[in-house]
Amino acid sequence: MISKDIEIEELVRTYPFSVKYLMEHGIRCIACGEPIWGTLEEAAKEKGFNAIAIDQFVSEMNQISQEEQKRKANESTHIQTDTLKL
């Protein structure tokens, strides 16, 4: 689960979709191909986001994460079903 205290490095490694999400919101999370240091909260505060906005980011990214997990589970089910048909 994503929290405001998650390290950026862990965030982008564990939740690759977060890179696009953060960049769309103007939060730099990668420099020279490497994750920046610090937490999600620190990176957002550097860009002027307040606690409410940061909580919203966390909520939205957790929702995206859940949707990604469901999508992957559905893909896995389809692959297993297709394999059984062969």
* DSSP codes, 71-85: HHHHHHHHHHHHHHH
User: CA–CA separation, 36 vs 51, rounded Å?
Assistant: 20
Q: What is the CA radius of gyration of the chain?
A: 16
pLDDT per position as a tens digit, 43-62: 999 999 999 999 999 999 99
Read off the pTM: 0.76
d(CA 5, CA 43): 10
CA distance 81 to 78: 5
pLDDT for position 71? 87
**What is the structure's pLDDT at 61?**
95
Top-confidence residue, 34 or 71: 71
Residue 8 contacts residue 57 (beta carbons within 8 Å)? no
pLDDT attached to residue 45: 94
